[in-house]
Homo-oligomer: A and B are copies of this chain.
Amino acid sequence: MAVYTDVSPEELEAFLATYDLGRLRAFKGIAEGVENSNYLLQTEAGSFILTLYEKRVNPADLPFFVGLMEHLATRGIDCPQPVRNREGIALGTLAGRPALIATFLLGTSVRRPTAANCAALGAALAGLHKAGADFTALHRANALSVAGWRPLYEQARDRADIVSPGLSTLIADELSVLEARWPAGLPAGVIHADLFPDNVFFTDGRLSGLIDFYFGCNDLLAYDVAICLNAWCFEPDGAFNQTKGRALLAAYQAERPLGADEIAALPLLARGAALRFLLTRLVDWLNVPPGALVRPHDPLEYLRKLRFHRSVTSPRDYGISEGTAA
């Protein structure tokens, strides 16, 4: 939940007056996203989401995020579309923060994805990768890919064993392997990099939208697939559900066939994706102020996933047939 910056209705009315959205009808802080403050706006023109970008977001990245959402919307991807003001500018300033109004997307996220949900997600992910292919005007490196993991580890190494005995050594070993073997030369492009179930909306069982592009960046496309295998295909008891993996991968490949090199790299990419979320959750977990009302995500969920990926002997364990390579 996230409303870090308080906006008065009076300030908002003045801000809205620079847009062609009519008068304000309702205005509520909403519990969505963890990095920024989000408000639901209802105006005479409809429903919108107002986002105020908080300190963890680098203002220099905002044009990339806004440009990406605009680009994807023109390519037919169902995602929030930035609204420009009367001067044609999307990014404004409100309550001392960079601020964006975007269209409101109908739909609800699923908590326990079914195999059908995973298939829909796989197809949408491939569609996103294809639609992003010609978004070349701006570039954003992935600060949370392999080069970014060791600095995170340094923040957590001394206290990691508080969370789980032996965790510090396990991460150090894993880091060495991944840094040495991380694939180069796989197809790259724009990735979402955080396409968890809460960022995907469904309406009547049909995937109706993707949100939260604030980890979007340029990186290996198959790494995005590996992130989704982690986020969508494990059961609450920690078991990988191969039926869901197969559904996700087959639907992805129907839209964008993976190369043999991408398929071969999947187990390693999946280890990397698990380590990335293990590390960021671990750092957050170790830095919660005592008594805080927001409980961070459990890092151990991703330790279990990492252990599964280390046990994988072939991409077939994810439900992919190597014969399906393009």
Interface residues of A (CB under 8 A from B): 1, 3, 8-10, 12, 23-32, 40, 42, 104-112, 203-204, 289-294
Asked if A26 and B106 sit within 8 Å, CB to CB, the answer is: yes
For the residues of A in contact with B, the DSSP-based class is loop
Residue pair B27, A28 in contact (C-beta under 8 Å): no
Given contacts A23-B204, A29-B30, contact A290 B293 (CB under 8 A): no
Bound: A189/B178 CA distance, A: 71
A106-B9 Cα distance, complex, nearest whole Å: 13
Cβ contact within 8 Å between B31 and A109:
no
Whether B24 lies near A108 (C-beta < 8 A) is yes
The distance in angstroms between the C-alpha atoms of A203 and B109, with both chains bound, is 32
B-side contacts of A204, CB under 8 Å: 23
The answer on a CB contact under 8 Å between A28 and B9 is no
In the assembled complex, which residues on chain B have CB atoms less than 8 Å from the CB atom of A24? 108
Residue with the greatest number of chain B CB neighbours at <10 A, chosen from A26, A27, A32: A26
Q: Could you tell me if A31 and B290 are in contact, using CB atoms closer than 8 angstroms?
A: no
Q: Is the CB of A25 within 8 A of B111?
A: no
Give the shortest distance, in Å, between A230 (CB) and chain B (any CB): 20
Q: Which residues on B sit within 8 Å (CB–CB) of A8?
A: 111-112
- Give Cα distance in the complex from A105 to B30, angstroms: 16
Known: A23-B204, A28-B40. A9 touches B111 (CB 8 A): yes
Known: A12-B108, A24-B108, A25-B107. 15 other contacts (CB 8 A): A1-B29, A9-B108, A9-B109, A10-B110, A10-B111, A10-B112, A25-B203, A26-B107, A26-B108, A27-B108, A28-B30, A28-B32, A28-B40, A29-B32, A291-B292
